[in-house]
Chains A and B, each alone.
Chain A
Amino acid sequence: MGIKDRLIEDVGLREGVKRLTEDKIEKVVQAVLKGETGARLAAYNEICMRCGLCSEACHFYLSHDGDPSYSPVGKVQQTMARLIKTKGRVSPDEIYGMAQIAYTECNLCRRCVHFCPVGIDTGYIMSTVRRICHKLGVTPQYIQDTAHSHSATFNQMWVKEDEWIDSLQWQEDEAREEFPGLRIPLDKEGAEIYYSVIAPEPKFRTQLIYQAAAIFNAAGVDWTMPSEPGWDNSDMCMFTGDFEMMGRLKRRHFESAQKLKVKRIVMGECGHAFRSVYDMGNRWVAWKMYPVPVIHSIEFFWELMKQGKIKLAKKYPGPVTVHDPCNVVRGRGHHEKLRELVRFLIDGEIIETASNREHNLCCTAGGGVINCGPPFKNVRLDGSKAKAEELRATGVKTIVAPCHNCHGGLEDTVHRYKLEMHIKFLGDIIYECMEKPS
């Protein structure tokens, strides 16, 4: 029982460990433990009573019929606890297993926090394991590719500068057929709103930019998007453990907003990018909080609704269920605003899943797990069984999920477990139901 019995071949992990020796591992582990961690990790390691209460928090544990090697403490036992105990003297093969656990069997969703009486943050511990793996050069290939893209282009998907501008203008052009006079204003100085997206939007979810433009246009929002790098708010480096690059990404993002002298940044329906600005990226660059106010789409749409700026031609047929993304709900308490907004948009009820609001079960895609790509897809979907069962029990046909990662993950889950449900962004529903020029 344990990671040794379920190793998955990944070229990034395999090539990474080939270059390692025990001496090298020891040196890097010591460097991270002594240089980057302190009392927090030391206390967690010392006072975890091994009571196992956290087990039932974890969707991986629940979905694997109570296999203890998938419980939060079971995963810590196989990774950080072992690294601390051996002072980093472990074999390259062990690092392979540790990397697989940290990158693909923990979504950093922090549900286990609600189960730990002494207040241990397993998400933090797993992030630190990833940090060590990153510094050892042992990262799954797919997510490492996105991190490389961040380093080279400041966006996650190798989108070139001209392609970015071209995609926006293309969407503007398309949308003007439906909404004459619509603009996607580039580099508008002093705008109220700077709209930032993740790179998969221009790359393959361009309709999301179209929809956002349509909604902002109808609501009369004074907004802009930047033409220069910095437009991508996503941050896979945060998940690979490349914190230096995470810091550079945050600086670039906020500098591009400051350059345009905007009042606020509105972030598309993304979870992890939000985590990166209020929780992890800001800390790395020693900002207690972000230097330019950032609000998530949930909050922004909620504001527009409250101000009466979203005018609906019809309501979306309910009932629906709401999926609470961990990074915006357990991460930022947007669950009630999300529900208020959904109630406004739908005709019918919200049928809650058994675990909801800050106690939500993770989609099993977040924390960079889905970004580790095809080699780990099956293990990810095995891990979402518990979520699938909760979704099935609602008996509804529509899941509202305001997060790209959750969206991608839930689509796979719905398919694997034959749930026959549709997954909607808030933007999808608002766009579908809003008043449009005839």
Chain B
Amino acid sequence: MHDIYNLVTGPLAWLAWGIFLVGSVYRLAIMYILAKKKDAASMAYMSWGYSLRSIINWLIPFNALGWRKNPLMTVATFAFHICLVAAPIFLLAHVALWDQFFGITYPVLDENVTNIMTMIVVAAALVFAARRIFQKEVRYVSGFQDWLILAIAALPFVTGLLAYYQVGNYQVMIVLHILTGEIMLAAIPFTRLSHMLFSVFTRSYMGSEFGGVRRVKDW
């Protein structure tokens, strides 16, 4: 067990971070080159001001028409994304690892807070899953990839909770937790999780076109 633990916290961790970082840079670079080559008729309209205007307005809950018409999804998706990013970064146990391996420390959130945030991620993932099963317009377009990325995103949090509350074998659970976390990182550049990389640009383009050409808001 100890060897496996060393494997997942050592070489596999380096591998996962490597795939995530190098893969992300690679995907962004390739996409940029492609855009320069083939999308001049869109790139010409890109504007910082309208991009930011669009991003900011879409980051305000219930501001865009789409958010207002789907209140449950608005709450779920905002809570999910905020907690998914913030909880792992500011979790005491994670910061302790940064300290242990690299001597890096920074402020942490109270454990109760990160606990609740983790539960929120799991709960929101359940909302997404329920939509995929019960809402026909979502079910109609859901495929293997959609379920896969939902599982990839949710599993580190599920296993994290189980490990924290010592449900089942702690050692197995913590290894699973680390492993699923690494899978998530490595999957970001190469699955639909890449919306983390690209949506800022698609949002910016839409904002630029609606602001600059159409002179209306895109939210």
- One digit per residue, 1 when the CB lies within 8 angstroms of any chain B CB and 0 when it does not, for chain A 233-272 equals 0000000000000000000000000000000000000000
**Which single member of B39, B44, B141 contacts A39 (CB below 8 Å)?**
B39
Nearest-neighbor residue (CB-CB) of B219 within chain A: A114
| Interface residue? A57 (CB, 8 A) | yes
- One digit per residue, 1 when the CB lies within 8 angstroms of any chain B CB and 0 when it does not, for chain A 1-21 equals 100000000000000000000
Chain A residues closer than 8 Å to B54, beta-carbon distance: 119
Q: Is the CB of A40 within 8 A of B205?
A: yes
CB distance from B22 to the nearest CB of A (A): 18
| Interface residue? B135 (CB, 8 A) | yes
**Which single member of B39, B73, B142 contacts A40 (CB below 8 Å)?**
B39
**Bound CA span A73–B136, Å:** 12
Instruction: Specify which of B38, B39, B140 lies most central, judged by the most chain A CB atoms within 10 Å of its CB.
Output: B140
If A40-B42, A43-B202, A117-B77 touch, whether A50 touches B138 (CB-CB below 8 Å) is yes
Binds A, one of B27-35, B91-99, B105-113, B158-166: B27-35
Q: Is the CB of B192 within 8 A of A49?
A: yes
If A51-B73, A68-B136, A286-B41 touch, whether A330 touches B216 (CB-CB below 8 Å) is yes
Chain B residues closer than 8 Å to A335, beta-carbon distance: 216
Q: Is the CB of A115 within 8 A of B65?
A: yes
State which residues 252-305 of A face B: CB under 8 Å.
Answer: 278-279, 283-284, 286, 288
State which residues 197-219 of B face A: CB under 8 Å.
Answer: 198-199, 201-207, 209-210, 213-219
Q: Is the CB of B199 within 8 A of A50?
A: no
CB distance from A360 to the nearest CB of B (A): 11
If A39-B34, A43-B198, A50-B146 touch, whether A288 touches B137 (CB-CB below 8 Å) is no
Q: Is the CB of A119 within 8 A of B199?
A: yes
Nearest-neighbor residue (CB-CB) of B55 within chain A: A119
Q: Is the CB of A115 within 8 A of B69?
A: yes
Q: Is the CB of A116 within 8 A of B216?
A: no
| Interface residue? A152 (CB, 8 A) | no
If A50-B146, A118-B199, A286-B41 touch, whether A42 touches B137 (CB-CB below 8 Å) is no
Chain A residues closer than 8 Å to B141, beta-carbon distance: 50, 52, 68, 71, 73-74, 77
Q: Is the CB of A38 within 8 A of B64?
A: no
Tally of A-B Cβ pairs under 8 angstroms: 149
Nearest-neighbor residue (CB-CB) of A73 within chain B: B141
| Interface residue? B37 (CB, 8 A) | yes
If A288-B44, A330-B216 touch, whether A39 touches B192 (CB-CB below 8 Å) is no
Chain A residues closer than 8 Å to B70, beta-carbon distance: 53, 56
**Bound CA span A116–B218, Å:** 9
If A38-B37, A332-B215 touch, whether A114 touches B64 (CB-CB below 8 Å) is yes
Nearest-neighbor residue (CB-CB) of B27 within chain A: A46
If A114-B64, A283-B41 touch, whether A69 touches B140 (CB-CB below 8 Å) is yes
**Bound CA span A114–B198, Å:** 18
Instruction: Specify which of A38, A332, A358 lies most central, judged by the most chain B CB atoms within 10 Å of its CB.
Output: A38
State which residues 182-233 of A face B: CB under 8 Å.
Answer: none
**Which single member of A38, A74, A119, A332 contacts B137 (CB below 8 Å)?**
A74
- One digit per residue, 1 when the CB lies within 8 angstroms of any chain B CB and 0 when it does not, for chain A 53-65 equals 1111100010000
Q: Is the CB of B138 within 8 A of A56?
A: no
If A38-B39, A39-B34, A53-B70 touch, whether A278 touches B213 (CB-CB below 8 Å) is yes
Chain B residues closer than 8 Å to A91, beta-carbon distance: none
**Which single member of B37, B58, B140, B217 contacts A358 (CB below 8 Å)?**
B217
**Bound CA span A97–B106, Å:** 57
If A39-B32, A283-B41 touch, whether A121 touches B206 (CB-CB below 8 Å) is yes
**Bound CA span A121–B141, Å:** 17
| Interface residue? B66 (CB, 8 A) | yes
**Bound CA span A74–B42, Å:** 25
If A51-B138, A53-B73, A288-B45 touch, whether A46 touches B198 (CB-CB below 8 Å) is yes
Q: Is the CB of A61 within 8 A of B137?
A: yes
Q: Is the CB of B139 within 8 A of A68?
A: yes
Chain B residues closer than 8 Å to A69, beta-carbon distance: 140
Q: Is the CB of B213 within 8 A of A279?
A: yes
Q: Is the CB of B194 within 8 A of A46?
A: yes
| Interface residue? A120 (CB, 8 A) | yes
Q: Is the CB of A49 within 8 A of B195?
A: yes
| Interface residue? A344 (CB, 8 A) | no
| Interface residue? A66 (CB, 8 A) | yes
**Which single member of B35, B65, B217 contacts A38 (CB below 8 Å)?**
B35
State which residues 40-57 of B face A: CB under 8 Å.
Answer: 40-42, 44-45, 54
| Interface residue? A331 (CB, 8 A) | yes
**Bound CA span A52–B42, Å:** 25
**Bound CA span A121–B201, Å:** 13
Report the 8 A-B pairs with minimum CB-CB distance, sorted nearest first.
A38-B38, A115-B66, A333-B215, A68-B140, A119-B206, A39-B35, A47-B195, A119-B203
15 further contact pairs, Cβ within 8 A, besides A50-B141, A68-B139, A278-B213: A1-B140, A39-B39, A40-B35, A49-B195, A57-B66, A68-B138, A73-B141, A117-B64, A119-B58, A119-B206, A283-B41, A284-B41, A288-B44, A329-B216, A331-B214
Pairs across A and B, CB under 8 Å, 10 listed: A38-B39, A51-B73, A68-B137, A77-B140, A113-B218, A114-B65, A116-B206, A279-B213, A358-B216, A358-B217
Residues of B within 8 A of A (CB): 31-32, 34-35, 37-42, 44-45, 54, 58, 64-67, 69-70, 73, 77, 131, 135-143, 146, 192, 194-195, 198-199, 201-207, 209-210, 213-219
